[in-house]
Amino acid sequence: MTRVCFVSHVHPDHLDEYRRRHAAVWPEMLEALRDTGWRDYHLFLSPDGLLVGVLETDDYAAAQAAMAATEVNARWQAQMADLFVDDGNPDEGFVLLDEVFHLEGQLAAAGLPTRPTAAPAPTESTQEQHR
């Protein structure tokens, strides 16, 4: 399993429309993403149009190629293209980011539990809040 993170840029004048279209993604698009290996896929959008995507997949290149081969992806990308800053298919302009830290991975590598073992002890600041 591989975690992938990418960035792209939605035109700031089109943020509301981008959100509207993603509030009800076509069912056949959702199925195509699932069936081509995109899992736990999230998109985050900043007020200036920075789009950050995070997903898990077995093989990103294969998942992206399989998705590009679907008819529904061609229709979706054509519909979304006018919302992005750069020309072309939005999914071809993703800039991939290198993962430099993963908490659970480092905890496991250090032989430490990845889940809390007990409730954290109250700190002085939390004790002050309850007075």
Instruction: Report the candidate in 93, 3, 79, 92 with the shortest Cα–Cα distance to residue 41.
Output: 3
Give the chain's largest Cα–Cα span.
61
Alpha-carbon distance 23 to 15, whole Å? 12
Contact 42, 22 (CB under 8 A): no
**Tokens in use for 11?**
């035109």
Alpha-carbon distance 128 to 88, whole Å? 55
Identify whether 22 is a catalytic site residue. Answer: yes
Name the residue type at position 80. M
Q: Which of these is catalytic: 9, 11, 14, 22?
A: 22
**Tokens in use for 45?**
């959008």
Please identify every residue annotated as catalytic: 22
